[in-house]
A and B are shown apart, each in its own frame.
Chain A
Amino acid sequence: MASKSLKLCRALCNNTQHGRNIFLALSASRASQRIQRRLFSNDPQPDLVDPPSTSPSEKPQSHDTRRNEGGAGRRPFSSSLNDVELAKFSAIAETWWDPVGPFKPLHAMNPTRVSFIRSALCRHFRKDPSSAKPFEGLRIVDVGCGGGILSEPLARMGATVVGIDAVEKNTKIARLHAELDPVTSSIEYCCTTAEKLVEEQRKFDAVIALEVIEHVADPAEFCKSLAALTDTNGATVISTINRSMRSYATAIVAAEYLLHWLPRGTHQWSSFLTPEELVLILQRASISVQEIAGFVYNPLTGRWALSDDLSVNFIAFGTKNMNSQ
């Protein structure tokens, strides 16, 4: 049933005008059903016969708008999905830096993520890992920076950091918190998307998007944007949650419903990516993944640690292929 609706959805999105009406009709009838598209297969998009109401001249236009708006979500039919995600985060924006608030698990996980990033980037850029500021001279962009919990440690390690987030409240909170410390007050926060930065033709040595890709509507396009932001010989780091039985049990059921670590509905299991899928879409975006690691939580000590177990949280570090622009 789901796969039929998926195919239908693909067919519809090629035809924005008509498709939107039908989509709205569908969503009215199955209001709670979320339809996600996963453009992983190599099958070409089905070539549809335009319905008589749409004139041929509109078709190229619709393609253009699709290309310009990109993956992080302004497609007419998928922007509604994205708004829901944005609204979720907007509602809890003030609690970003509250150590016992809804973002507490992220704060607990942060040291582990930063240590992976530190070792991967130091190795790639040949920086001295025993220096207190190993990222001196590196331009890093933190996509989906939220309240800045990743951007601040990166800045303290010497990097020139740009933090972007689609939720305006987040960037405001991040800016205010960063002002508290002179070292981090140099971080540039913008309320924008990766696609807009691509349009501005900005390039960075390292592009980091942690726990973001499971919230975007089109991961493949998102990865293409991240790749476009990465300079030649640059690095891309993405972390997300695996789509596995175990992650359903831990990240959805345990974290959201039993332990109340996260507000209910923070994550949609269907939008998780498996490591294989992530590697594949990064490959399509000309980024080859060099290292991948998992995070595990030890309930006895309450600490996160890096491990080979990718079944729930994992982080991937990739470099841009030499032959791409």
Chain B
Amino acid sequence: MTLLLLEVAWLALPLLVLSVASMPLTKQLKVAIIDSNPALGRRDCIEKTDLPDPRVSTVTPATISFFKDVGAWDYVQQNRHAFFDKMQVWDYTGLGYTRYNARDVGKEILGCVVENKVLHASLLSCLQKSDFHKTIYPSRLTSMALQSHSKEVESKLPGAKLCDHGSFVKLDLSNGDSLFAKLVVGADGAKSYVRELAGLKTTGWNYSQNAIICTVEHNVENQCAWQRFLPTGPIALLPIGDRFSNIVWTMSPKESSERKTMNEDDFVKAVNHALDYGYGPHPQSSSVSNYGDRLSWLIADMTSSSKECFEVPPKVVKIASERMVFPLSLLHSNDYASNRVVLIGDAAHTVHPLAGQGVNLGFGDATVLSKVISDGISIGSDIGEISLLRKFEAERKPANIMMMALLDGFQKAYTVDFGPLNVLRAAAFHAAQFITPLKKNIISYATGEQKWPLFS
């Protein structure tokens, strides 16, 4: 009865199941997926002519390689997706900007923007095609409890010490079924019920910001990712393909409700205003020759993007989808694992969307967890043992916390409009733009090639 149990198959979770299915040591595990979402059972056909859904994710090259390893990338390539190799980041003060190019680190792409439903469908279709032993329970979890194999054994055990090693988790579902599992993986999002049942505490706070997302259309192709930091929050323009782009605009809750309800033309004007001359001037296209020979030693091997001028993003012509609003917060579970329960993805950590890292952290978790389970099986340990799960935590927690700290730092740094701080931020833009090793470091870290920022 080697059962590995999973909760709510959204994104990180199907990747975990596929990784487990593809490794020789873990192929024989029996997996049950509990998800009350009806779409799970049937194969959703994605019409290529559909307008892009505003819920998109930016997947890093590291995530793309995970997908390729489990064979789920082909489906994505057959549907709408957009690789981008350029990125421009600037702010409203007009004091500086940074342009990134994949060629700076010798790569072809910085990332790929894919609709969430395409990612989901790709993972699910891969799962359905595999002959892995999985059962889907279209129901909701109501309770779970640690249990040991036989009641009489429990009574004979000296003290409570051995009972703590309850050998199964009993899960009760809303349709009356009961399941027994050796390991429960909770991937049920930021408001994780599994986390609540397991009694894992979290730390976090709400950013007093909401994000509006919607799909927009241009007259020209957009192949660059744009992000401008405004006084109330960043606005990001990400290419989705076919002249469509996705807007992620962070602002205060009051403004978000206003902008959600304003008519479409006004919203388009507001977006163009925010991306162009609104709130402040364009940054000067600094050319390095301004600094003369004094900096020639520093800029000896400059990257191509350092020489690029500031560009204005393409104008938005019309909106192509409804506007969705959701609140932003930071959340981190103090422990990712307790006895026989482990959390991955948003259930363990949620971040600000300003760098498009959230879903990639979740995919990273899934890959590492499958590797840890595989290693555990190779040495015959019980997959639900807390010592094994702590290994997963020790691998992922520092990396996740580092990323969260950086993103939180950025978010806080850009919410303050204070003269010297603005100059500091401008200096940071310039540093990232011209100091090649720093730029390479930033790109490698953001694309998932490097585990730690600055120290590789």
* A residues 266-325 in Cβ contact with B at 8 Å: 301
Measured CA separation A156–B380 after assembly (Å): 5
Measured CA separation A247–B75 after assembly (Å): 57
Chain A residues in 8 Å Cβ range of B380:
114, 118, 152-157
Known: A107-B387, A156-B382. A180 touches B148 (CB 8 A): yes
Contact of B381 among A101, A130, A156, A180 (CB under 8 A): A156
Task: Return the CB mask of A121-163 against B: 1 if under 8 Å, else 0.
Answer: 0000000011110000000000000000000111111000000
Measured CA separation A129–B375 after assembly (Å): 12
Measured CA separation A97–B382 after assembly (Å): 13
Known: A99-B386, A115-B379, A118-B379. A180 touches B28 (CB 8 A): no
Nearest to A113 among chain B residues (CB) is B379
B129: Cβ under 8 A from any A Cβ: no
Chain A residues in 8 Å Cβ range of B379:
110-111, 114-115, 118, 153
Known: A114-B380, A156-B382, A181-B382. A94 touches B159 (CB 8 A): yes
Chain A residues in 8 Å Cβ range of B381:
111, 114, 153, 156
Measured CA separation A256–B165 after assembly (Å): 27
B45: Cβ under 8 A from any A Cβ: no
Nearest to A108 among chain B residues (CB) is B387
A64: Cβ under 8 A from any B Cβ: no
Chain B residues in 8 Å Cβ range of A156:
380-382
Q: Which of B64-72, B149-157, B230-238, B255-263 contacts A (4 or more CB under 8 A)?
A: B149-157
Chain A residues in 8 Å Cβ range of B25:
130-132
Contact of A97 among B1, B148, B161, B386 (CB under 8 A): B161
A14: Cβ under 8 A from any B Cβ: no
Q: Shortest Cβ distance from B168 into chain A, in angstroms? A: 9
Contact of A176 among B24, B156, B377 (CB under 8 A): B156
B158: Cβ under 8 A from any A Cβ: yes
* B residues 373-425 in Cβ contact with A at 8 Å: 377-382, 386-387, 394
A177: Cβ under 8 A from any B Cβ: yes
Chain A residues in 8 Å Cβ range of B441:
none
Q: Shortest Cβ distance from B455 into chain A, in angstroms? A: 15
* B residues 316-350 in Cβ contact with A at 8 Å: none
A98 with B382: CB separation less than 8 A: no
Chain B residues in 8 Å Cβ range of A99:
386-387
B167: Cβ under 8 A from any A Cβ: yes
B24 with A181: CB separation less than 8 A: no
Task: Return the CB mask of B1-36 against A: 1 if under 8 Å, else 0.
Answer: 110000000000000000000001111100000000
A115 with B378: CB separation less than 8 A: yes
B162 with A176: CB separation less than 8 A: yes
Chain A residues in 8 Å Cβ range of B161:
94-95, 97-98, 101
Chain A residues in 8 Å Cβ range of B149:
179-182, 185
Q: Shortest Cβ distance from B153 into chain A, in angstroms? A: 5
Chain A residues in 8 Å Cβ range of B162:
97, 173, 176-177, 180
B1 with A182: CB separation less than 8 A: yes
Chain B residues in 8 Å Cβ range of A115:
378-379
Q: Shortest Cβ distance from B394 into chain A, in angstroms? A: 8
B153 with A179: CB separation less than 8 A: yes
Q: Shortest Cβ distance from B260 into chain A, in angstroms? A: 49
Measured CA separation A118–B382 after assembly (Å): 16
Measured CA separation A169–B24 after assembly (Å): 38
The 5 closest A-B pairs by CB, nearest first: A153-B380, A156-B380, A180-B167, A114-B379, A130-B24
B-side residues, CB < 8 A to A, are 1-2, 24-28, 148-150, 153, 156-159, 161-162, 165-167, 377-382, 386-387, 394
29 interchain pairs, CB-CB under 8 A: A97-B161, A97-B162, A98-B161, A99-B387, A107-B387, A110-B379, A111-B379, A114-B379, A115-B378, A115-B379, A118-B380, A130-B24, A152-B380, A152-B382, A153-B379, A155-B380, A156-B382, A176-B153, A176-B156, A176-B157, A177-B162, A179-B149, A179-B150, A180-B153, A180-B162, A180-B166, A180-B167, A181-B167, A183-B2
